[in-house]
Chains A and B, each alone.
Chain A
């Protein structure tokens, strides 16, 4: 058994192997499908509050130092000390230079599937600090992206360019919610 405490150091070895095979993206999509087990229903039914619930639980279990809040239909998160990258850096094995990419790699497809726009942004890939925003409001998220570009953030990952798919899934989520509400009456 690889202890769950040491999983991320195994993950790091997997990333190094897959990067050599040019296979990271397909793997992120597999992990995203796996994460649907934990997140899909929560995000579809509770939206931004469901994200707070999921990542609030992760904050405790993974010993994150982070804050998050919802304001005007946008969820903001600031991870001031990412435990995952911190462990990978505190490691006798070399870190994968692309380690941080796994996070937007699995979260972005899930957000698209749930009909939310998403941005993950970082200043560096070797520092355990990052930020993210989630919202179903495309204009607000696009404005945040433009502001991040102006601020000089070097790493910005988003699903804004998949807007047609996000919008279709947002409509689907709203229809499901409306169906449930009318069935409950």
Chain B
């Protein structure tokens, strides 16, 4: 079950504010500071997902990916096996909305995915990886490390 139940109206223009913020923090405080904020967002805001991952329960992560990309009309494919979750995004809703607003996507736009995902996995047996294949197209992988099963 999702910690944050969201099913009302959607304000997609927040993607524009996120984009401006990514550029602002990177330009004024550096990319490492931006990564720290994003990773902390993943770690603290998504505590519920992280704590479940630590117990070997990926259900909220799967529900999170599916619900929020479905809700924002993303085009994606989600594949789940025991130790791996592969989430391929064919059209990122955030980048699609930035283009609609005539905003250039930040060079750091995909850090919001890679660092938040990494923050969700911190201290858990899961590791995340993001491969960007083109604008708005990426493969997000969450893989459970085998050696954690015996611990």
Within 8 A of A (CB), among B22-77: 24-25, 28-29, 33, 36-38, 40-41, 44-48, 68-69, 71-72, 74
| Docked CA distance A23–B37 (Å) | 14
Instruction: Enumerate chain A residues within 8 angstroms of B13, measured Cβ to Cβ.
Output: 4, 38, 61
Number of chain A residues close to chain B: CB under 8 A: 34
What is the CA–CA distance of A90 and B4 in the complex, to the nearest angstrom? Answer: 8
- The residue from A5, A27, A37 contacting B68, defined by CB atoms under 8 A apart: A5
The verdict on A69 contacting chain B, using a C-beta distance below 8 Å, is no
B20 in contact (CB, < 8 A): yes
CB of A7 closer than 8 Å to a CB of B: yes
Query: In this assembly, does A72 line the interface, its C-beta being within 8 Å of a C-beta of chain B?
Result: no
Q: Is A80 an interface residue (CB 8 A)?
A: no
Distance A31 CA – B13 CA, assembled complex (angstroms): 13
Contact present for A4 and B21 (CB under 8 Å): no
Instruction: Answer yes or no: A93 CB below 8 A from chain B CBs.
Output: yes
Interface residues of A (CB under 8 A from B): 1-11, 13-14, 17, 21, 23, 26-27, 30-31, 34, 37-38, 58, 60-63, 87, 90-94
7 smallest A-B Cβ distances: which pairs? A7-B14, A93-B44, A92-B47, A3-B68, A61-B11, A5-B6, A4-B14
